[in-house]
Amino acid sequence: MLFKTKSAKKEVVFLSVDELKRLEVYKFSQPRLEDVKNMFIFCCYTGLAFAEMEALEEKHINIGFDGLKWISMERKKTGRVINIPLLPKALEILKLYEEEDFLLPVISKQRFNSYLKEIAAIIGIEKRLTHHIARKTFASTVLLYNNVPMEIVGELLGHSNMSITQEYYGKVVMKKVSDEIKKLNRRI
């Protein structure tokens, strides 16, 4: 009765800088794959979960205190308001759909993830791509690997407390520390 199982900690899977670049430059001849690629990359640079990407409307994009465009919306999972600056790559993707009646194409999560498997096979990414990997790529490859502090990563992801961010991305930070020490060793 008093026995409690421990849940196994999953390894954080995200795209490397090289994989993200390969995805960004690849042009698909099929519009459905090109759209899914664009939406996935958009989320790699915003960290939006699928529910937020799906609900994104013009009213959620505002000019911030700094004169730049920001996404401001309520996170479905936690109910917290998230504010995410739109990086240049995310703005480029929004521009692709300016002439449409929507900010981003609408597609079901199942179909989205199914198309991501096709995309991964075509490009040669050997990871099981899902939409959530875009969110993890934002946190790891885009933010942490570019020296954004863990507190800001947690805030941009809309985590309810810092321990969630540290639990999931602590190993990513350790890899960054290891990479920096290796660079330092070569210089010394």
Cα distance between residue 164 and residue 170, in whole Å:
10
21 within a domain of the structure (yes/no): yes
- Kindly state whether residue 141 falls inside one of the protein's structural domains: no
Query: Comparing 79 with 47, which gets the higher pLDDT?
Result: 47
> CATH code at 117?
1.10.443.10
Residue 176 domain flag: no
Sign for the pseudo-dihedral over CA of 56, 152, 93, 69: positive
- Alpha-carbon distances, residue 78 vs 28, 49, 52, 64 (angstroms): 35, 12, 12, 23
pLDDT at 149: 84
Pairing, β 81-85 against β 69-74: antiparallel
Domain count, the chain: 1
Residue 72 lies in a domain: yes
Residue 60 within any structural domain of the chain: yes
Q: What pLDDT sits at residue 144?
A: 86
| Model pTM score | 0.84
Q: Are 70 and 84 in contact (CB under 8 A)?
A: yes
pLDDT digits (tens, 9 = 90+) for 130-152: 999 999 999 988 998 888 888 88
Q: pLDDT digit string (tens) for 64-101?
A: 999 999 999 988 888 888 999 999 999 999 999 998 88
Q: What are the E-state strand segments in 75-132?
A: 81-85
Confirm whether 5 is domain-assigned. no
- Residue 108 placed within a domain: yes
Show the domain range for 77. 17-135
Residue at 96 is within a domain = yes
Q: Would you place residue 7 in the very low, low, confident or very high pLDDT band (cuts 50, 70, 90)?
A: low
Whole-number Å distance between alpha carbons of 21 and 103: 23
Going by C-beta distance under 8 Å and a sequence separation of 6 or more, which residues neighbour residue 107? 35, 36, 39, 115
State residue 184's pLDDT score: 85
Whether the per-residue pLDDT at 8 is higher than 70: the answer is no
Q: List for the chain the helix, strand, coil content (%; round to 5).
A: 55, 5, 35
State the pLDDT confidence band at 9, using cuts at 50, 70 and 90: low
